Homo-oligomer: A and B are copies of this chain.
Amino acid sequence: MIQRKLILFLFCIISLGLKAQYVYHNAEEFPLYGKISDNTELHFERLDKSLKDKVSRPYLWFLSKNTAGLAVRFKTNSKNLAFKWEVVNNATMNHMAPTGIKGLDLYCFKEGKWKFVNCARPSDNHKSEAVLSAQKEVAVSEYMVYLPLYDGIKQLEIGVDSLAFIADPEIESPRRDKSIVWYGTSIAQGGCVSRPGMAHTNILSRWLDCEIFNLGFSGNGQLDYEIAEFFVQSDASLFVLDCMPNVWEQKVYENLENFYNIIRAKHPTTPILFVQNPWFSLMEFDEGSYNSLVTKDKALDEVYAKIKNKDPNVYYHNSKDFLGDDGEATVDGIHYTDLGFHRCAEAMYPMLKKILYNK
């Protein structure tokens, strides 16, 4: 009996100890990257709340609450970092890992580069908690935590060791004076990476050291004018139009030039990059996909040629080399895996660097 009481006593002490170990801070206190407007319903979301009743399809509004491309920056000397987060939908997908859908992804700035630390893995429920080892020794370090790609965040708290501090970052990286608006599809939204940091917009944000506003909307990168009217608020250095998989021949003819004109009305000379439909491996085995791609690529080429004729600040990225030549870089012949996003980032990096930094 005495032994059982002792065990219970020790259990209480340990439980209290564990609970007291981390001091939690509301992540909304720290700088958020990847968000164009501060006028949003929740803190962590992508579209201005004035768009709620204006978007072309309700699902587009639903997707705008997915936190793809958003990241919180801070510095701390905590050896461990604890996270408590509550997601909006507790979404699941059969071809994407929960870590990518609704996990958090921690990076540390070391020796002039962003390095992957670890991923905070989600539970089966809306609420999750995770503790990550963030340093081998106590030292002040700069961190960035990427938010979920295919779910939203209602609340996020960052916990540090009880004797540690957490504060705003010292270094401005990714740079905010260079930024890209990336408009696109489920792929642009990060489908289907293993963890948020491996979406190509997040990879390229690290490699190019620039903020990227991810406006990828699964199935809904349909050249909707209200989205262009929204993102032109941003003083971006480059607009990437990467939505071909979600449009069709007629849509390209009808909407693409108007969409471009909305950007040009506000940003007369800012570079705009038109991205060809990725050369999906599926097309080698599926007649319908192949035919659809060929016709809409032709439409893109025609519209682009017409625009290029009058505008020296537009660019075109051929997609043939996005995924390598072995057909292995997707999970379903369409959506990129970490291998696919890494290859795509490598393929696009030179042109993006040239446009942003002229080198």
> Which residues of A are in contact with B by a Cβ distance under 8 Å?
92-100, 103, 108, 110, 115-119, 121-124, 132-137, 192-195, 197-198, 203, 281-282, 284-290, 326-333, 337-340, 342
Contact = CB atoms under 8 A, between A and B. Distances in A.
Given A94-B99, A97-B192, A342-B339, A285 B118 contact: yes
A99 to B, nearest CB: 5
B339 A282 contact: no
A121 B100 CA distance: 17
Nearest to A133: B286
Nearest to A107: B327
A136 B337 contact: no
A284 B119 contact: no
A141 to B, nearest CB: 10
Contacts of A110: 284
A257 B138 CA distance: 40
A93 B287 CA distance: 34
Contact of A284 (B96, B115, B193, B338): B115
12 contacts: A93-B98, A94-B124, A95-B99, A95-B119, A118-B285, A121-B332, A133-B288, A135-B285, A198-B337, A337-B337, A337-B338, A337-B339
Given A118-B332, A119-B333, 15 more contacts: A92-B124, A93-B97, A94-B121, A95-B97, A95-B99, A97-B194, A110-B284, A116-B328, A116-B330, A118-B333, A133-B285, A192-B194, A193-B337, A194-B331, A198-B328
A288 B330 CA distance: 35
A96 B94 contact: no
Contacts of A118: 282, 285, 332-333
A286 B136 contact: yes
A195 B331 contact: yes
Contact of A136 (B134, B198, B285, B338): B285
A282 B133 contact: yes
A110 B93 CA distance: 31
Contacts of A337: 193-195, 198, 337-339
A119 B327 CA distance: 13
A332 to B, nearest CB: 5
- Can you list the 4 inter-chain pairs with the closest CB atoms, starting with the nearest? A133-B286, A337-B338, A338-B339, A194-B331
Contacts of A132: 285
Given A198-B328, A198-B337, A285-B133, A94 B108 contact: no
B94 A98 contact: yes
